[in-house]
Amino acid sequence: MKLTRISLWHVPLTSHTAYYMAEGKTCDTVETVVVALETDTGATGWGEVCPIPHYLPAYARGVAPAVQEMAPLLLGADPVGPEALMARFDKHLQGHVYAKSALDIALWDLTGQAANLPLYALLGGRRSETMPLYHSITCVAPDEMARIAQTAYQTGMRQFQVKLGADADWQADVARLRMVRQAVGEGPLVYGDWNCGATSLDATRVGRAVADLDIMLEQPCATIEDCGRVRAATGLPMKLDENAHDTASLLAGHARGCMDAVALKLSKFGGLSATRRARDLCLHLGAKMCIEDTWGSDIATAALLHLGASTDPARVLNVCDLSGYVAPRIAPDGPTRDQGRITPPDGPGLGIRPDKDVLGPPDLVLD
Ligand SMILES: [Mg+2]
């Protein structure tokens, strides 16, 4: 099999609910980048990356120039066994892991199609039939967040990420965590996420004020060192997200004792190949994993579901149905949430069919 053409689209994704986070960060309409890799056998592999610039050191319009840089290595190459080609990319162009993420997903899609197997079979074998989802709650008034949590609870959701810090009012954050916990009762997982936006002082005050509750904290501060101090001062379990993006940072989070859980997002690490290596390291380190991506629609969602389904379910904290938060759906036949859980596709490769009418004509074609 040989790669013959690269096509790329920019697609605006609009959230069903605008997301408000700490430090004025919002997520409303964000551009996602879709990549198609065509081959001489007629098979097409699909990839997607939707970098949120305030989350990753990356932006959507940076993907196409990076893909153009890597195109000479892609065209004419054999896509089967993506890690061989990814290693060549890394020698040719350092960094730019977000752009490589979309290409890596597309290469895995082609590899799965060549093997006539769903990707979970190639990423470790199927370990679970369905996986738990979390529901992310935008940072608004505490009573409104409790209402959103209760509505999601009634649909079967049992894990709730409470965005904190949008009004820089630590006492409001205490109310958010207390009211969401009360709304969903004992048992479900509730965690407060500052997206790096808190000082260690404010995060410690919030953590101590809710320390009588079953609460996890997520990425309160901008550095692993400050997150570690909050973890030590509050005694509350902690999930790392923004700070955990490669082998060194996973080891650092573990060494600081603040990585009870960690978000493994495909675009932070550089696609399925790199995130699979991170997954295997986390199995060794003992962290529970949220397997997901920064943002995106059905292609990114299908990719992360295959990695999640091939991971020991005892170590999967949750996965994310990104495509359920946004419109349009790029592949309307992709998986959707059911009673707070989700099932990966069973077809070869990613197992989804992107809708070319939704995509329209490509913005870039290289052949
Ligand atoms: Mg997070």
Active-site annotation holds for 288: no
Active-site annotation holds for 265: yes
- Strand, coil or helix: what is 346? coil
**Peptide bond preceding 328 in cis form (omega within 30 of 0):** yes
Amino acid at 144: E
Burial of 65 (0-12, 13-18, 19+ CB in 10 A): exposed
Q: Which residues contact 201 (CB under 8 A, 6 or more apart)?
A: none
Task: Tally Cβ neighbours within 10 Å of residue 284.
Answer: 9
- pTM for the full model? 0.97
- Which listed residue (265, 268, 288, 356) is catalytic? 265
> Which pLDDT belongs to residue 156?
97
- pLDDT digit string (tens) for 98-109? 999 999 999 999
Q: Across residues 255-267, what is the average pLDDT?
A: 98
The domains found in the chain, sorted by start residue, are 3-116+354-366 (3.30.390.10), 122-342 (3.20.20.120)
- Do residues 43 and 115 make contact, with C-beta atoms less than 8 angstroms apart? no
Which of 248, 249, 240 minimizes the C-alpha distance to 220?
240
Which of 19-28, 109-118, 180-189 shows the lowest per-residue confidence on average (mean pLDDT)? 19-28
Q: Across residues 267-273, what is the average pLDDT?
A: 98
> Which pLDDT belongs to residue 362?
98
Q: Which two tokens stand for residue 91?
A: 């020698």
How far does the centroid of ligand 1 lie from the alpha carbon of residue 219, in Å? Answer: 7
CA distance 267 to 299: 13
How far does the centroid of ligand 1 lie from the alpha carbon of residue 290, in Å? Answer: 10
Q: Which two tokens stand for residue 213?
A: 């509750």
